[in-house]
Amino acid sequence: MYDTLYRGIISSSIFKTGSIYTEFGNGMYNDHHYHYGYFITASAMLKHLDPNWSRMPELERIIWTMLRDVVNPSAEDKYFPRFRHFSWYLGHSYSHGVTSIDNGKDEESTSEDINFFYGMTLWGRVTGKKAVEDLGSLMLRLDAHAIRTYFLLKSDNTIHPPEIVRNHVTGIFFDNKVYYNTWFLDEKYAIHGIQMIPVSPINELARTSTFVEQEWNDILSKEPIVVEVNTTITWLSLLLVNAARVNPMESLRNLKNATMDNGLSRSWALYNAATRCRDDVDVNTAAVQLTVKV
């Protein structure tokens, strides 16, 4: 529904439940770039594959409205503010909405942030809107640079103190502090895993090979769910797709039996893991060896 106070598209569930926290606080403008990015990216792929789908005009109206809600560039648009979530000064988005919080605004899931601008770029391309594609590409590259600098930390990072750098991710990045945790689960596999969703090749723009290797060797490879190959915890599937860039064959083997994250299919996980392999791994051979029954 459209909210006339802050001029945006919000979930009606805030009025049905009476809670500002329902749907991650969507009604208070939390996480719009995270959540709407899934719709935009998927819709861009659908339009590329089936541009003549009977409901495409209806879908296009929805996607353009979502884009205006998050990244409207026009000062003349009376219905949406300009760049609701993005800070051009800092080079990244904020996920927190209109409620006050002691330590200032924050950003947590950098990969979902990246996914939004990826989807925006793709949508501009498939709809033939060059200006939208170019703006999305610019924001994508700027966002990825900020994430590599402030959020995903290689061992030579000089922005944060050594006590923070050794974690390799900041966790929740507030204006006034970083908090090595998540909003929902105090486990390392979640603190790191939230920086990997959704699984997508575009994540490599922020998650460099050097970073992935250091994060895996220093932290994730030692996590109990990885050491024990605990296939009952769905976060393992995300960690294994990521680990394929470091230890491809073992990661692919373990993915065969891992319980998939509820936003990840096994076929998509295996495809991404196999195509992210190092140059010295033959993908065709790996595919034959790791064939699973669908």
**Across residues 121-150, what is the average pLDDT?**
98
Check if 3 is active-site: no
Residue 43: pLDDT over 60: yes
The token duo for 18 is 């009476």
Catalytic residue among 69, 112, 223, 261: 112
102: pLDDT strictly greater than 70 = yes
pLDDT tens-digit readout, 64-91: 999 999 999 999 999 999 999 999 999 9
- Whether a cis peptide bond, with omega within 30° of 0, leads into 201 is no
**Catalytic status, residue 108:** yes
Q: Which of 31, 69, 106, 133 is catalytic?
A: 31
Does the annotation mark 112 as catalytic? yes
CA 132 – CA 130 distance, rounded (Å): 5
**Given the residues 107, 108, 113, 215, the one annotated as active site:** 108
Sequence spans of domains, the chain = 2-156
How long is the chain?
Answer: 294
Q: How confident is the model at residue 57 (pLDDT cuts 50, 70, 90)?
A: very high
Among residues of the chain, what percentage have pLDDT more than 90? 92
- Which residues have a Cβ under 8 Å from the Cβ of 155 and sit 6 or more positions away? 165, 166, 214, 218
In the predicted structure, residue 289 carries a pLDDT above the cut 70: no
Beta strand 172-174 with 106-107 is antiparallel
Average pLDDT, the chain: 93
Residue 30 near residue 96 (C-beta atoms within 8 A):
yes
